[in-house]
Amino acid sequence: MVTAPANPKNNAPRQASLEVFHLIQQFLYREARLLDEQRYDDWFQLMDEEFTYWVPVPQARYRRDKKGTYERDRMAHFDDSLAELKLRASRWKQRTAWSEDPPTRNIHYISNIEVEPSEGENDWLVRSVAISLRNRNEDEEDWLGGRRIDLIRQTPEGLRLVRREVFIAQTVFLSKNFNTFI
DSSP one-letter code for 109: E
Q: Which stretch binds another protein (CB under 8 A): 8-16, 29-37, 44-52, 174-182?
A: 174-182
Query: Minimum CB separation from another protein for residue 38, in Å?
Result: 14
Q: Which stretch binds another protein (CB under 8 A): 6-14, 54-62, 116-124, 159-167?
A: 54-62
Report which of 134, 129, 131 is spatially closest to residue 179, judged by C-alpha positions: 134
Q: How many residues does the chain have?
A: 182
Using rule CB under 8 A, residue 6 touches another protein: no
Phi, psi (5° rounding) for residue 169? Answer: -100, -15
Using rule CB under 8 A, residue 59 touches another protein: yes
- What dihedral angle (degrees, nearest 10) is formed by the CA atoms of 94, 98, 102, 106? -70
Residue type at 149? I
Residues at the interface with another protein (CB under 8 A): 55, 57, 59-62, 65-67, 71, 73-80, 84, 87-88, 90-92, 94-100, 171-179
